[in-house]
């Protein structure tokens, strides 16, 4: 498979190395610091799929450019979802292919699945409050993380009484607190904590390296070509 890498930071480099191990070809790199190529330089004749891991400020434009070029695109950038409906609409209009996940780790997506189940059960039995905590490296720009937001959305959907999230300690019972920490070179830790007067329960995912994210993105890139529409990890993993 011929892959266009958009963004060649830590994630892009990890994906590139793992792609080579899996027998794929990096057909091009679009990155301000690593090449002068642009998305417009590539077509479906030269690239099978694009993988986009850049910056919240550039991700939306990159996704839209891929769609207009007819390139299936796997996007892992977070912090741009206020534009997601526009990207989804263009995908439909052009009969394109867009795969988005806030986190491509298979383990994290199982975490999302169990998070929703747990929220429904914990509310059913009552007496618990819930909060989300996320820990990342100091270079991560968006806050809270996309993974924390996905976890929060799962809780809000299944835990009546929580109607909105707040990136700080909750000030009202209806608020779900998301507590963000940036420290050292932490790859990524997400913890959902339920607390009652008598006990505490936690659901936790801790990443040990970026390879889990890179593998998930490559699995998505291998799966996407030939499909049309907007997809995510639930479709890929059958969750």
Catalytic residues: 136, 140
> Which single residue is written with the structure tokens 């993105």?
217
> Contact 205/190 with Cβ under 8 angstroms?
yes
With a CB cutoff of 8 Å and minimum separation 6, the contacts of 126 are: none
The CA-CA-CA angle for residues 136, 210, 222, to 5°, reads 130
Give pairs for 34-39: CB < 8 Å, separation 24+.
34/8, 35/8, 39/4, 39/6, 39/65, 39/66, 39/69, 39/71
Give pairs for 221-226: CB < 8 Å, separation 24+.
221/1, 221/3, 221/49, 221/51, 221/74, 221/99, 222/1, 223/99, 224/49, 224/72, 224/74, 224/97, 224/99, 225/1, 225/48, 225/49, 225/72, 225/97
With a CB cutoff of 8 Å and minimum separation 6, the contacts of 18 are: 211, 214, 215, 218
């Amino acid at each position: 498979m011929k892959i266009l890498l958009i963004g060649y930071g830590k994630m892009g480099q990890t994906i590139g190395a793992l792609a080579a191990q899996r027998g794929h070809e990096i057909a091009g790199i679009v990155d301000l610091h690593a090449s002068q190529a642009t998305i417009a330089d590539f077509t479906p004749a030269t690239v099978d799929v694009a993988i986009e891991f850049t910056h919240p400020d550039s991700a939306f434009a990159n996704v839209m450019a891929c769609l207009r070029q007819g390139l299936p695109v796997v996007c892992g950038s977070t912090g741009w979802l206020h534009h997601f409906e526009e990207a989804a609409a263009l995908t439909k209009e052009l009969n394109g292919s867009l795969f988005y996940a806030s986190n491509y780790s298979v383990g994290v997506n199982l975490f999302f699945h169990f998070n929703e189940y747990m929220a429904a059960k914990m509310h059913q039995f009552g007496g618990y409050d819930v909060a989300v905590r996320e820990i990342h490296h100091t270079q991560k720009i968006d806050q809270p993380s996309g993974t924390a937001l996905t976890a929060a959305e799962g809780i809000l959907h299944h835990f009546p009484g929580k109607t909105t999230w707040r990136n700080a300690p909750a000030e009202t019972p209806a608020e779900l607190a998301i507590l963000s920490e940036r420290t050292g070179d932490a790859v990524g830790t997400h913890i959902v904590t339920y607390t009652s007067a008598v006990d505490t329960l936690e659901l936790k995912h801790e990443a040990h390296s970026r390879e889990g994210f890179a593998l998930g993105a490559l699995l998505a890139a291998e799966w996407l070509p030939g499909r049309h529409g907007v997809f995510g990890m639930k479709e890929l993993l059958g969750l």
